[in-house]
Structure 1
């Protein structure tokens, strides 16, 4: 995915009915025709055509294929990509549908062909039957709905629409609207009557129910009896829906679609997806798909959950039980599903791979509170020595200006990290929602592994970009050094003998910026920066370097503009030939209209400034720098440009993770 495109829809559709290609080509082709585009030619393995700003490419080779539609809109480009692979021994056939966009196109809904494709066969997410319409749940079906919500294999959110006694048709219409929007990435159900709704709420409890014409989205995974953070399953009240209408429903649908956008592909699909791409590029054979299906063997005693538990027990001075014997391999999660209708009564598959195994006898349970206390003790014990060593070094280096300043800066960075760790442990001991979800250790760690795989893929892309950029810079440096030598001048920077500053964390960069950058003022953002330093230690160094370069570029720009040497804005500065710049693609001088007009989002982007900058003492900082263009997390620097005003400075309000918007909420 190009770095300037955001993913706004991703569906993983398991299809056991062969062949996939005929049904998918027919429904995709009908969708193109409805858009006013030509119908695809039947039997042609590869074809490409372009009409009225839309470009279509369709490729098929043996048991796999890919369709791509690119449409140009006023606000940017929308790309719909459909990739499929037929069933092979050990793997159910699958279809991956992705929609990506540039700009703000509000494309957070299913492409128009998905509903028609779901009607062609029984299609699941691997465990849950995905339908093109909302299912009605009566009193007798409530227990099946509860089973659906708590099913361990469910990957998609379930949107439940409550009853409106005085407007039963309104609830039906809302459920139908939502079913169209989340087709392929969610299941929508509605209560047939108040008796069904009351019985459901009785089973859920007061904090997890839905009523009064409201809608609630139950994300995966979900266990009503142990759920400690009900708001994770996002409710929207009936009055809000009645007042805002389709706009409120769009937020509900966008939340459900966004939930699946951030999830990595299932492991078997991820492995075979790469093979399909190679086959379509002519770099692999169709038989390679079957070779990629077999799961990699993993010793029973080396799983991440078991390693973490044994490590924590050993560090806490407790006896460590011997490793459990190897278990039989689980069945393929994408296995074939039994036939059935689309009613909620058959919405859950009964595949053996998704049945939860009971814990090994004699193995202690995972004690979350004990873990928090142990982590706190270890952090305090280990970091106390580092703090004492830092104080000794600072005292010994008194009188040595540069070394003392560096040591004090490091102490401030370490102090911020210790403060962040203390807050983190305190919050988690008090019932942090993420830690509460970690009571099921194996599920949490499995999700973490999936997230790390996604992070690894993003890092590979970033590394490739960095290598390409480094090569260009090397060539430019050589050219400049050659010209300087021809002019009889020494090469720039070689005479100083000082290595460039390389921050090891965001706090390290912020502390040095406060000391050395005259035209940049950084506000109270240490807590946000520290969260990223502590949560992503392997990525924080790269983000710190980019942040340091960005702050230096802001300082150079403010110095030039306040002195009357430059008349444009920071984006123009980065597009100019000035020496201290960052890529202009990292800079956004405004937010979307949705963000600026929504008080909830704009308030999070309003930060303190002196009254000489604004009489209210605060200002909305729309301008921001994208330290990481895509993925999660996506650090940002939000700033206000007063370089041409009374202070002649840049005021930075936020250095931390991406602030909330309609896509993240």
Structure 2
């Protein structure tokens, strides 16, 4: 059995009421006494005790402290850690609570190791099904404690008809971190909803908020505010993840409901599954910036390597340095990617003044220069951007690598790739501008130079993407080294070979060979066409496609193994280190109604799947990944999610140029 460390629970709490230490220590001490430990002493700086194979360490110094409880279970141990810091100037006091599994069975075995449609894997022992530590409900009831935006209660909140409108504003608060679990009433037995809400509140304390609708009037008012696809009724429970906006929600199933029949048939196990999904969503989220800065200082203070006063220094906001040369280049690029528009006679606000200034800059470039001069200006900007890519990008990537490894947050390495993709969008904008200004006349020397610059810039961009992916692999190697040294790192896996795709066909071939949860259909012809016609850009698209396929494979493995209950959009939207994800802006989970309901548009989107997925052997695939958001060509990768079905796989039906729709026809 290989050793592993997995984060199972995390609560990130803001507590503005001093002193945190007294209220937190009282509740935590009562909890460990119930576990058989002697009453901890408040007179010592560091209190250590053992009971029944478990070990307790309680430390404090100045206005910060840490409690660590290691408990045995089966072949491994559970470690509960509570770290706190009192309020200082520029920072509200905080408490971070984590529960980690050290060793023991792989968490993939939680709901069984069954592979649907294939031979069943050998059963493994059931790992711990973790809920919130038992002291949290008592602590949450001592003050107005929040997740940084909304108050987190120690018990279920009763919501009446009159309070619905105010509560909707809580649900849609953009800074909310914790999920909200809403329990609808059972008109046959009012106590059913109460008991379910209490059990859920006990399980998600600190990492979620449980709300019980008081009666049918409150339910009707709540559902009216949510809309037809986001309501909850009939003694069901629905989890609303953050961020949430009922008016703009395009994927209602991201907020999963569980009906009364399923809860009654499975009993407590059904509510445990809801709890597991809620705390699993928040277990790996990054800490807020001020907490991340001060947490390292707190650890050094407790170790005697720093003074308590340094916590306030670390909490102070850090002004960001402005690179004026870079800002000027960004202004010029954005100016050239906007079309000049005539100003309207209306009141001028500061925001409108900024827009008007941008329009004037664009007009200056496009209307007051000749075509040759404009092309030369564009070429100069392209050369400057190319120079920045060559001279500066590697340094930025190395800096990002250092940040990812020093902070021990594996998910940060993906930010590098996202920033490079933004640069790629800007490069595409430069190409489109060059094409517009060329017109139908003969190309000038400046325009020919610009086209050469654009070709070179695309090649350099592809090289930058390749370098970033190599650096991401280096981060993963460093994560493994940290794990070997005894540092907890989520998501440590075996070595993955570094694959550098040269085209889309190579990506499909590699996916078929190495990604066990991905099935590839007959789409090689469409991919090859793009490889041949756009061979320079295809390196960039292939890198994006490979990242997307690995993210899909990672998601399908988690969902088919019972470790994740949402869809692929949920997987990517959740800020959880250790997951392979892609930006949600690349995702579209459905097509427009005009495409789905018209045969001439829906027919090209029906792709082959195995008979166990659909008896006809073909299925309409709406979900797709945009390898390039706009422009020509705009490659798309269509897929069907059967990870929770009979095959346990994601099926790739198409990888090629943009399919026809109402705007292209």
Normalising by the smaller structure, the TM-score range is: 0.5 to 0.7
Structure 1 CA distance, aligned partners of 2:209 and 2:480? 38
> Which residue number in structure 1 is paired with residue 359 of structure 2?
none
The match for 2:187 is: 165
1:153 CA displacement? 2.6
CA contact (8 A) 1:83 1:96 kept: yes
Superposed counterparts of 1:510-529, under 5 Å: 525=519
**What does 1:21-32 correspond to in 2, within 5 Å?**
21-32=21-32
The 3 A distance-change label for structure 1 pair 359 and 227 is: farther
1:504 aligns with 500
Given candidates 120, 139, 158, the residue that maps to 2:161 is: 139
1:62 alignment counterpart: 62
Superposition map of 1:65-464 within 5 A: 65-101=65-101, 102=103, 103=105, 104=107, 105-298=127-320, 313-314=334-335, 316-318=337-339, 360-361=351-352, 378=428, 462-463=477-478
How far 1:381 sits from its partner (Å)? Answer: 7.4
Cα gap change, 1:524 to 1:123, in 2 (>3 Å) = closer
> Could you say what the CA RMSD is over the residues aligned between the two structures, in angstroms?
5.2
Counterpart contact for 2:178–2:209, Cα < 8 Å = yes
- Would the alpha carbon gap of residues 292 and 231 (structure 1) be closer, same or farther in structure 2, given more than 3 Å must change? same
| Aligned-residue offset at 1:522 | 7.9
In structure 2, how many angstroms separate the alpha carbons of the residues matched to 1:17 and 1:457? 41
1:632 aligns with 2:569: no
Q: 1:462 to 1:317 in 2, by over 3 A?
A: same
C-alpha separation in 1, matches of 2:540 and 2:55: 43
SS in 2 for 1:56: strand
How far did residue 269 of structure 1 move?
1.0
Whether contact under 8 Å (1:127, 1:153) holds in the other structure is yes
1:257/1:315 Cα in 2 relative to 1: closer, same or farther (>3 Å)?
farther
Q: Which runs of 5+ in 2 are unaligned?
A: 108-126, 343-348, 357-420, 433-458, 463-467, 486-496, 528-538, 569-575, 583-640, 646-665
Evaluate the alpha carbon distance shift between residue 377 and residue 206 of structure 1 in structure 2; reply closer, same or farther with a 3 A threshold.
Answer: farther
SS at match of 2:60: strand
Q: 1:142, CA displacement in angstroms?
A: 0.8
Equivalent residues of 1:109, 1:181 under 8 A apart: yes
Equivalent-residue separation in structure 2 for 1:275 and 1:118 (angstroms) = 25
Give the CA deviation at 1:463.
Answer: 2.2
Cα 1:270–1:108 change in 2 (3 A) is same
The DSSP-based 3-state class of the residue aligned with 1:241 is helix
**Post-superposition offset of 1:292:** 1.0
Structure 2 counterparts to residues 45-56 of structure 1, below 5 A: 45-56=45-56
1:106-157 superposed Cα distances (whole Å, 9 cap, x missing partner)? 4342111111111222211122111111111111111111111112232211
The secondary structure found in structure 1 opposite 2:194 is helix
Using the alignment, how far apart are the partners of 1:16 and 1:245 within structure 2?
Answer: 38
CA deviation digits over 1:452-503, x for unaligned, max 9?
9xxx999768426559999xxxxxxxxxxxxxxxxxxxxxxxxxxxxxx964
Q: Secondary structure at the residue paired with 1:154? A: coil
What is the DSSP-based 3-state SS (H/G/I as helix, E as strand, rest coil) of the residue aligned with 1:268? helix
Tell me the residue number matched to 1:431: none
User: Judging changes above 3 Å, is the alpha-carbon distance between structure 1 residues 8 and 308 closer, same or farther for their aligned structure 2 residues?
Assistant: farther
For the residues of structure 2 that align with 1:457 and 1:110, how far apart are their CA atoms?
Answer: 33
- Distance, in Å, in 2 between the alignment partners of 1:185 and 1:38 is 28
Describe the SS at the equivalent of 1:124: coil
State whether residues 3 and 630 of structure 1, in contact with CA within 8 Å, keep that contact through their aligned partners in structure 2: no
| Deviation, structure 1 residue 187 | 0.9
**1:311-352, Cα deviation, whole Å (9 max, x unpaired):** 98556453599xxxxxxxxxxxxxxxxxxxxxxxxxxxxxxx
Paired residue secondary structure (1:6): strand
Q: Deviations over 1:556-613 (max 9, x none)?
A: xxxxxxxxxxxxxxxxxxxxxxxxxxxxxxxxxxx99x966x7999xx9xxxxxxxxx
Q: Secondary structure at the match of 2:319?
A: coil
Q: What is the aligned partner in structure 2 of residue 588 from structure 1?
A: none
Following TM superposition, by how much is the alpha carbon of 1:308 offset from its aligned partner in structure 2, in angstroms?
13
Query: What runs of 5+ residues in structure 1 fail to find an aligned partner?
Result: 322-357, 366-370, 383-413, 418-451, 471-500, 548-590, 605-628, 636-656
Give the TM-score normalised by structure 2. Answer: 0.53
Return closer, same or farther for 1:283/1:377 CA change in 2, 3 Å cut-off.
closer
What CA distance in whole angstroms lies between the structure 1 residues aligned with 2:76 and 2:212?
A: 36
Structure 1 length-normalised TM: 0.53
Secondary structure of the 2:82 match is: strand
Find the aligned partners of 1:111 and 1:76 in 2 and give their Cα distance: 18
After alignment, is 14-23 or 190-199 more displaced? Answer: 14-23
* Shift of residue 67, structure 1, vs aligned partner: 0.9
Q: Deviation of residue 273 (structure 1)?
A: 0.8
Tell me, in whole angstroms, the C-alpha distance in 1 between the residues paired with 2:256 and 2:332.
36
Q: Secondary structure of 2:269's match?
A: helix
How far has the Cα of 1:46 moved from its partner? 0.9
